Structure 1
Amino acid sequence: MEPNDKQPLQQLEQLEQAKSFVQEQLGKDASGHDWWHIARVTRLAKQLAKEEQANEFVCELAALLHDVADEKLNPSAEAGLSKVRAWLMAHHVENDAANQVMEIIATISFKGGNQPPVTTKEAQVVQDADRLDALGAIGIARTFAYAGWKGHAMYDPELPYREQLTQEAYRNGATSAVNHFYEKLLLLKDRMNTASGRQLAERRHQVMEQFLRQFYAEWDGTDADAGEARDQ
Structure 2
Amino acid sequence: MNELQQRQLAAATAYMQQVLGQDHSGHSVDHIQRVVRLTTTICQQEQVAVFVPVLAATLHDVIDDKVVSDVETARQELRDFLTMQQVSVTEQAEIWQIIDRLSFSKNLVHKQQLSLNGQIVQDADRLDAIGAIGIARTFYYGGHTGAAMYDPAIKPRTQMDKSAYRKQSPVINHFYEKLLLLQDSMNTASAKKIAAQRQQVMLDFLAEFKAEWNGDV
Q: In the alignment, residue 41 of structure 1 is paired with which amino acid?
A: V
Contact 1:41 1:129 in 2 (8 A): yes
Q: In the alignment, residue 131 of structure 2 is paired with which amino acid?
A: G
Q: How does 1:1-232 map to 2 (within 5 A)?
A: 7-75=1-69, 77-111=71-105, 113-171=108-166, 173-223=167-217
Provide the alpha-carbon RMSD of the alignment: 1.3
Distance apart, 1:79 and its partner CA: 4.1
Distance apart, 1:115 and its partner CA: 3.4
Contact 1:136 1:204 in 2 (8 A): yes
> Could you say what secondary structure the match of 2:23 adopts?
coil
In structure 2, C-alpha distance between the alignment counterparts of 1:100 and 1:167, rounded to whole Å: 23
Contact 2:23 2:67 in 1 (8 A): no
> Could you say what secondary structure the match of 1:85 adopts?
helix
Moved more, 41-50 or 111-120: 111-120
Contact 1:154 1:177 in 2 (8 A): yes
Structure 2 unaligned blocks of 5 or more: none
Distance apart, 1:73 and its partner CA: 1.5
In structure 1, C-alpha distance between the alignment counterparts of 2:71 and 2:117, rounded to whole Å: 21
> Could you say what secondary structure the match of 1:109 adopts?
coil
- Higher relative contact order at CA 8 Å, sep ≥6: structure 1 or structure 2? 2
Moved more, 72-81 or 181-190: 72-81
> Could you say what secondary structure the match of 1:175 adopts?
coil
Structure 1 unaligned blocks of 5 or more: 1-6, 224-232
In structure 1, C-alpha distance between the alignment counterparts of 2:53 and 2:180, rounded to whole Å: 25
Contact 1:69 1:83 in 2 (8 A): no
Contact 1:147 1:153 in 2 (8 A): yes
In structure 1, C-alpha distance between the alignment counterparts of 2:93 and 2:87, rounded to whole Å: 9
Contact 2:25 2:67 in 1 (8 A): no
Moved more, 155-164 or 202-211: 155-164
In structure 2, C-alpha distance between the alignment counterparts of 1:187 and 1:78, rounded to whole Å: 30
In structure 2, C-alpha distance between the alignment counterparts of 1:123 and 1:78, rounded to whole Å: 22
In structure 2, C-alpha distance between the alignment counterparts of 1:48 and 1:72, rounded to whole Å: 26
Distance apart, 1:175 and its partner CA: 0.4
Contact 1:11 1:57 in 2 (8 A): yes
Distance apart, 1:177 and its partner CA: 0.9
In structure 1, C-alpha distance between the alignment counterparts of 2:47 and 2:193, rounded to whole Å: 17
Q: In the alignment, residue 146 of structure 2 is paired with which amino acid?
A: G
Q: TM-score, normalised by structure 2?
A: 0.95
Q: Work out the number of aligned pairs and report it.
A: 216
Contact 1:136 1:205 in 2 (8 A): yes
Percent identity of equivalent pairs: 45
